[in-house]
Structure 1
Amino acid sequence: MSILKTVFLLITFVLVGVWCSCVHAKDTIYSGDKIQGTQTVYHLNPESLAPGLHRFYLQAGWRNSGMPIYVPVIIIKGTANGPRLTLTAAVHGDELNGIATIHELIKEIDYQALSGIVVAVPGLNQPALNTNTRHYVTSNGSGNKTNLNRIAPGDISKGGAQAYMARIWQGLMMEDSDLAVDLHTQTTGTAYTYYAFADVRNKKAEKIAMLMGPDVIKEDEGVNGTLETTFMQKGIPAITLELGEPRRFQADMIYRSVKGIKNVMRAWKMLDGEYENLSSKTYVGKNISNISADIGGIAFLKVGLLDKVEKGQILATLNDPLGREIANYKAPSNGIVVAIATYPLREEGSLLVRLLTEIRP
């Protein structure tokens, strides 16, 4: 092995060691590389930046070819002190409306009129986005797929998807957030209405959800490993916001979510002005009821998003390939339709209709 190569490897190991131990680092750690003129970092402390709009790529891992994986990060640092708002989008690779929400939002925020900091990640799951898939594919050779929104805040020592998530969580100092919104859509073949999950036992989280002006709010006690729940467990009020359909940009969803986030920023005094009521009616419910196909077939839905349904009402029918009805599906209780199948060919166990039930009067 040449001396030059040995020196290069030693430097690489030192850099990786610094990166992996920088959980409590106070400074931004630059990698020294640039992507199309944009600086890349191992660790990013927004407090160390000058007021203004900043764009970076955070190195969060490596592909199996040895090439780095870069995650886009946008920082808007205001001229006055204030809260830190973290926005994440596309933790699942087929959920795209949140990316456009962040892109549109940054056009509308003047850092000179901002108190505090916005940390925005418009495309958290880069491996899935780059392969047009939903989940991150691990590098262990087995082809296993990992739901990044079940392993937050990650664990560098475990490698693979766990390390990828940990490098993002630690590298962006997410535990220093004051509030957070995680932007989603439904998965491929289905659609949500404009819909928030919020642990309403936390009044700040409930306030964030209401300020977003959603059609419905699910009273959410959380799921371990999700970004929302991880933030909440760290004492940071957070919600999950579902924005319609996957694999496309929907102008109405993007418009509403941008207005909602600015509403939240006004309520937390990050922006001047009074927040406004963005929804004439928001339904709040305690439970979700999933109506799924118990056999494969061709689905015909009898209801649409936000329809009110009564117990026993037929929600969908299923045909065989010859056009014969082989099953029908009824509402198990009264509720509001919050999600529907949009792709008619349904496998056994796949969602047909999702209801929000036990709705507050």
Structure 2
Amino acid sequence: MKKKSPDSVPDFCLNGLTIGLGEQVLTRLVIAQLPTGTVIDVPVHVFRSTQPGPTVLLMAGMHGDEVNGIETIRRMIRRGQLQRPLRGTIVAIPILNIYGFLNFSREVPDGKDVNRSFPGHPRGSVASRVAHRFMREIMPLIDYGIDFHTGGAARSNHPQVRCILGEDPETDALAAAFAAPFTLHAALRPGSLREAAMQQGRRIIVYETGESLRLDEPGIELATAGTFRFLKHLGMLAEAPEPAQATVVCRRHTWLRAKYAGLFRTHLRNGDYLPKGQEYGIVADPYGEQAVRLVSPVSGFVIGLNHMPVVNQGDALLHIAVPEQAAADSAADSNSDSE
């Protein structure tokens, strides 16, 4: 993985502005226009120390309906918690997908996912144009980043970090510093921000918590604390709260999927431990004629939960993270529901 020197250039240019050490700037990247002629732009906050150092991206709202990351960054900006890094630069983007945010949607108006559209194209779809503008303006500036996400499609995620584990010691150290309740080894998705970043030698981890269009207060607090630890690890903050518990590292994880269609219910909650062979729920037909008890084929922690009561065959029900000691008995894959 190639790496640039974060201390080599004291000034950098963003959106036509040259931003020097010690400066704080709010600029807006114009993305496109709505059919009404309304300009769609993305606000970008830049907080620079007087001392050179790494540049860290804090970004949310890749999917417009994922509000927990948006609220996390908003609070840190509002409380002045990012304004004076000890060294280096913080680039904070509370909402990348303005279209989706306005329409309570994961996608942009053309129905495409921005996080499957990197590196993008200046004359491509709306999602591709958003990705391209990011790659042109933001990606060249950053060294590290946290991309905040939330579970989608009526599914909630237990607080977790996702990254490639075991291939890059620096990425492993960043994930360990964040210290979310769970750290997952997650393969790169084609067209994702993480894939595009890795190809350019930038290290980005993903933080997931909660459910779309709902604020998850405990997950937001964990996101804030983890971000402070991330920045402290890079020498950009002097203090950060200690994690309340040790992170559980899981290199394997799998979705338990519905074998039958019907009404799904479970007694489990996110964070619960589910032993192999234990019943975890029931799928029943809506007419009161039949109910099928569901038994787990693996042991692990529930880190994702489907709240939709009506399910079809193949629908994801529970996301199970398999801890190291149980991995040998699992047939786990690495499907995810948001990033």
The answer to whether the superposition gives a TM-score over 0.5 is: yes
Listed one character per residue, the Cα deviations across residues 129-151 of structure 1 (whole Å, up to 9, x for unaligned) are 1111111122xxxxxx1111112
Listed one character per residue, the Cα deviations across residues 242-283 of structure 1 (whole Å, up to 9, x for unaligned) are 02222122222111111111111111111224x554142321
Cα gap change, 1:153 to 1:118, in 2 (>3 Å) = same
Gaps of 5+ in 2: 1-11, 327-339
Cα gap change, 1:237 to 1:360, in 2 (>3 Å) = farther
Distance in 2 of aligned mates of 1:262 and 1:123: 20
Check the 8 A contact 1:175/1:231 in 2, yes or no. no
Q: Where does structure 1 differ by over 4 angstroms across 4 or more consecutive aligned residues?
A: none
Residue matched to 1:353: 318
Residue matched to 1:189: 154
Distance in 2 of aligned mates of 1:227 and 1:148: 9
Q: How does 1:75-154 map to 2 (within 5 A)?
A: 75-106=46-77, 107-109=79-81, 111-138=83-110, 145-154=111-120
Match of 1:307 among 272, 290, 301: 272
Distance in 1 of aligned mates of 2:92 and 2:213: 20
Distance in 2 of aligned mates of 1:323 and 1:196: 41
For 2:159, give the aligned amino acid: Y
What SS does structure 2 have at the residue aligned with 1:55?
strand
Q: How does 1:1-361 map to 2 (within 5 A)?
A: 27-28=13-14, 43=15, 48-49=19-20, 51-106=22-77, 107-109=79-81, 111-138=83-110, 145-172=111-138, 174-200=139-165, 201-273=167-239, 275=240, 277-359=242-324
Which protein is bigger by CA-based radius of gyration?
A: 1
Listed one character per residue, the Cα deviations across residues 87-123 of structure 1 (whole Å, up to 9, x for unaligned) are 1101112211001111122224363453111111111
More contact order relative to length (CA 8 Å, sep ≥ 6):
2
Check the 8 A contact 1:88/1:124 in 2, yes or no. yes
Distance in 2 of aligned mates of 1:360 and 1:54: 48
Normalized per residue, the structure richer in helix is 1
Check the 8 A contact 2:112/2:127 in 1, yes or no. yes
Listed one character per residue, the Cα deviations across residues 189-216 of structure 1 (whole Å, up to 9, x for unaligned) are 1111111111122222122212222111
Identity of aligned residues (%): 23
Instruction: Give the TM-score normalised by structure 2.
Output: 0.85
Gaps of 5+ in 1: 1-25, 29-42, 139-144
What SS does structure 2 have at the residue aligned with 1:136?
coil
Distance in 1 of aligned mates of 2:82 and 2:185: 34
Check the 8 A contact 1:181/1:239 in 2, yes or no. yes
For 1:86, give the aligned amino acid: L
Distance in 2 of aligned mates of 1:125 and 1:246: 14
For 1:131, give the aligned amino acid: N
The offset of 1:328, in angstroms, is: 3.0
Cα gap change, 1:291 to 1:163, in 2 (>3 Å) = same
Q: Give the aligned length.
A: 313
Instruction: Give the TM-score normalised by structure 1.
Output: 0.80
What SS does structure 2 have at the residue aligned with 1:193?
strand
For 1:166, give the aligned amino acid: H
Cα gap change, 1:311 to 1:55, in 2 (>3 Å) = same
Distance in 1 of aligned mates of 2:295 and 2:122: 46
Distance in 2 of aligned mates of 1:332 and 1:175: 45
Cα gap change, 1:218 to 1:44, in 2 (>3 Å) = farther
Distance in 1 of aligned mates of 2:298 and 2:215: 33
For 2:160, give the aligned amino acid: Y
Distance in 1 of aligned mates of 2:201 and 2:301: 31
